[in-house]
C-alpha cells in the first residue's frame, strides 16, 4: 500500500455519480491510497470551497493537514511525483506522452457526450436528477420536483444544449460514442488495459467518462452491454486492480489499435481546441464549430481548455530529443500535429492555472456562466 499516512484521512468531496470524482476514485483505488468520499453539499460548501480553492468544482480533495486540492489531472501528477513506486505513468516517454494526450481528451472531449447521454434522455435525467437532489441538496428547503428541475436545467444549459449540441448534432455525437465503443471493444478484447497487462494513466483517464457516466446511466449502459461487453469488463477490472499487486507488464511501443483514437483526436478534439482558442482570442463567449463531422452551435468558450492545449505542447517539449521525433511522427500520421501547433501564441492569462492543484482561480471562467 502506498504510505500516505501523513495525508490521511484524505477526503474526496464530490458525488457518487460524478465524472471527475469517479476518475479520482479509480486513481486512488488503483494506487491503493485510502480515501473517504463525502457528498458535496449545496449550497453550503460553496463558500468554503471558493475560499480554499478559488473555485467551486467537483471533486475537491481535502488533506488531513487542512490543504485543499482541485483539478484531477494536476492532483494525479502531484501524487504520482510524490509516490513514484508502482506508478501509473510508463517510463517510455512516447507512451507517457500518449497517456497525457488521452487523459486530456478523455477529460475535456468526452465530457459533453457523457453529459448528453445523462441529461438528454428522460430515463437518464430522471435517475441523475433524483440522485443528485437527494445526495447533494437534502438541506435545500424546496420541493424535490423543483430541485430536479433546477438540476436538469443547469446541466443542460451548461454542458449539452447550452454547450453546442443541437437537435441536428445529436446523431453525430452519438455516432462518435458508438465509434469509441468499437475502438475500445477491440482494445480490451486484445488485452486487459490500454497499454497491456498493467493499468496506466490512460486507463484512469478513460474511467472518467465511463465509470460514473457511460457505464452507469441507463441509455449508454445498455448500449455498452450490447455492443461492447469487453469495455464493461474493463470498467470493473480497473476498479478491482491494485498496482502494488498487479503482475502484468506494459507492452512496448504504441499499439496499432490506438491509431483510431488518435485519428479522432486529430479530426475532432484538437480542431475544437483551436476553435476555442480563436473564440478566446477574439473575446467571444460563444462559437460555432464543425469538427469530426458534427456541427456544434454556440459552444461555450473555455479559458481552461486554452491552457489544456498549452499543457499538451509543454508535454511534447518536455520529451527527450529522440522521443520528440517519435511522437511527432505519430502525431503527423494521425493529423494531430498541425492543430497542436496551429496557433503561434495562445491567449492565456498571466499566470493562468499556475496555482493548481492548490488554487484554481481562473479555471471555471466561462463554464456554466
Partner 1 sequence: MSKLKKGEYGIVGRPESGYSMKVLSAMRYKGVAHQWMDRFSHHRLYKEHAKVQLIPLVFLPDGAAMQDSTPLLELLEARHPQPSIYPEDTALRFLSDVLEEYGDEWVNKLMFHYRWGYPADQKYRAKTLAEGTVAGLTTPLIGKIGGPLLAPLLVKRMVPRMAFAGANDNNKPLLVESFGNLVDILQNHLQSRSYLFGERPSFGDFGLWGQMHQAYIDPSCGAILRQRGPAVVAWIERMLEPEKCGEYETLESLEPTLAPLFSREVGPRFLAWDVANARAWDAGEAQTELEMDGRRYYQKTFKYPAQALGILKAKFNQASSDGELIRFLASTGCLQYLTGTDGTGVSAGSLKE
Residues that bind partner 1 (CB under 8 A): 3, 6-7, 65, 67-69, 78, 80-85, 91, 93, 281, 310, 313-314, 317-322, 344-350, 357-359
Nearer to partner 1, 59 or 357 (CB): 357
* Residue given cell 505542447 in the structure block: 313
Min. distance of Cβ 52 from partner 1 in angstroms? 9
Min. distance of Cβ 253 from partner 1 in angstroms? 16
Min. distance of Cβ 65 from partner 1 in angstroms? 5
Min. distance of Cβ 288 from partner 1 in angstroms? 23
CB 269 within 8 A of CB 302: no
Nearer to partner 1, 65 or 369 (CB): 65
Widest Cα–Cα separation across the chain:
61
Nearer to partner 1, 84 or 229 (CB): 84
CB 275 within 8 A of CB 301: no
Nearer to partner 1, 34 or 259 (CB): 34
SS (H, E, C) the chain: CCCCHHHCCCEEEECCCCHHHHHHHHHHHHCCCCCEEEECCCCHHHHHHHHHHCCCCCCEEECCCCCEECCHHHHHHHHHHHCCCCCCCCCCHHHHHHHHHHHHHHHHCCHHHHHHHHHHCHHHHHHHHHHHHHHHCCCCCCCHHHHHHHHHHHHHHHHCHHHCCCCCCHHHHHHHHHHHHHHHHHHHHHCCECCECCCCHHHHHHHHHHHHHHCCCHHHHHHHHHHCHHHHHHHHHHHCCCCCCCCCCECCCCCHHHHHHHHHHHHHHHHHHHHHHHHHHHCCCEEEEEECCEEEEEEECCHHHHHHHHHHHHHHHCCCHHHHHHHHHHHHHCCCHHHHHCCCCCCCCCCCCCCCCCCCCCCCCCCCC
Nearer to partner 1, 3 or 244 (CB): 3
Nearer to partner 1, 63 or 219 (CB): 63
Min. distance of Cβ 91 from partner 1 in angstroms? 4
Min. distance of Cβ 98 from partner 1 in angstroms? 15
Nearer to partner 1, 164 or 360 (CB): 360
Nearer to partner 1, 239 or 358 (CB): 358
Cell numbers representing residue 353 in the block: 492555472
Min. distance of Cβ 12 from partner 1 in angstroms? 16
Q: What whole-number distance in Å separates Cα of residue 177 and Cα of residue 299?
A: 19
Nearer to partner 1, 237 or 313 (CB): 313
Min. distance of Cβ 325 from partner 1 in angstroms? 13
Min. distance of Cβ 326 from partner 1 in angstroms? 12
Amino acid at each position: 500500500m502506498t504510505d500516505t499516512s501523513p495525508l490521511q484521512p484524505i477526503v474526496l468531496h464530490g458525488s457518487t455519480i460524478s465524472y471527475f470524482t469517479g476518475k479520482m476514485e479509480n486513481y486512488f483505488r488503483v494506487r491503493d491510497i485510502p480515501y473517504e468520499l463525502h457528498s458535496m453539499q449545496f449550497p453550503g460548501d460553496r463558500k468554503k470551497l471558493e475560499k480554499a480553492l478559488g473555485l467551486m468544482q467537483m471533486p475537491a480533495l481535502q488533506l488531513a493537514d487542512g490543504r485543499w486540492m482541485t483539478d484531477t489531472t494536476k492532483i494525479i501528477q502531484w501524487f504520482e511525483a510524490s509516490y513514484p513506486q508502482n506508478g501509473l505513468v510508463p517510463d517510455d516517454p512516447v507512451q507517457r506522452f500518449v497517456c497525457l494526450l488521452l487523459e486530456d481528451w478523455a477529460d475535456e472531449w468526452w465530457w459533453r457526450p457523457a453529459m448528453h447521454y445523462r441529461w438528454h434522455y428522460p430515463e437518464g435525467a430522471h435517475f441523475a436528477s433524483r440522485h443528485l437532489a437527494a445526495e447533494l441538496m437534502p438541506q435545500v428547503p424546496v420541493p424535490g420536483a423543483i430541485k430536479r428541475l433546477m438540476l436538469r436545467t443547469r446541466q443542460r444549459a451548461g454542458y449539452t444544449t447550452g454547450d453546442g449540441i443541437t437537435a441536428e448534432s445529436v446523431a453525430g455525437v452519438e455516432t462518435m460514442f458508438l465509434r469509441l465503443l468499437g475502438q475500445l471493444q477491440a482494445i480490451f478484447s486484445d488485452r486487459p488495459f490500454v497499454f497491456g497487462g498493467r493499468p496506466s494513466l490512460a486507463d484512469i483517464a478513460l474511467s472518467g467518462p465511463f465509470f460514473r457516466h457511460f457505464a452507469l446511466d441507463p441509455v449508454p449502459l445498455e448500449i455498452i452491454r450490447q455492443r461492447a461487453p469487453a469495455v464493461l469488463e474493463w470498467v470493473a477490472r480497473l476498479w478491482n486492480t491494485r498496482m502494488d499487486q498487479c503482475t502484468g507488464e506494459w507492452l512496448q511501443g504504441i499499439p496499432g489499435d490506438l491509431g483510431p483514437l488518435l485519428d479522432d483526436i486529430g479530426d475532432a478534439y484538437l480542431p475544437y481546441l483551436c476553435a476555442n482558442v480563436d473564440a478566446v482570442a477574439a473575446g467571444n463567449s460563444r462559437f460555432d464549430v464543425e469538427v469530426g463531422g458534427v456541427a456544434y452551435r454556440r459552444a461555450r468558450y473555455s479559458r481552461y481548455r486554452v491552457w489544456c492545449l498549452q499543457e499538451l505542447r509543454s508535454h511534447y517539449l518536455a520529451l527527450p530529443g529522440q522521443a520528440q521525433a517519435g511522437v511527432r511522427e505519430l502525431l503527423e500520421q494521425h493529423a494531430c500535429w498541425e492543430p497542436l501547433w496551429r496557433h503561434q501564441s495562445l491567449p492565456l492569462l498571466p499566470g493562468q492555472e499556475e496555482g493548481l492543484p492548490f488554487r484554481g482561480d481562473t479555471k471555471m471562467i466561462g463554464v456554466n456562466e
